[in-house]
Amino acid sequence: MVKGTPSFGKHNKITHIRCRRCGKHAYHIRKKRCAACGYPDSKLRKYNWAWKHPLTRERKK
């Protein structure tokens, strides 16, 4: 019925634990997949939108 303080007492399930490959606290237990590095996939999870290209920073000066 309420969405506030009483409901937050029920938030006691652990969803993420520490990843054995990247060490971040992003390994989803139920999905069995790391949100940060993509473990257990062999390729490392990375996207172009996740980092700024270093050359574009130098050109802006």
pLDDT in tens, the chain (61 residues): 788 898 998 889 999 999 999 999 999 999 999 999 999 999 999 998 887 777 766 665 5
Q: What is the pLDDT of residue 58?
A: 66
**C-alpha separations of 51 from 8, 10, 35, 57 in Å:** 34, 36, 16, 11
pLDDT value, residue 34: 97
List the chain domain ranges: 13-61
Which CATH code fits 13-61?
A: 2.20.25.30
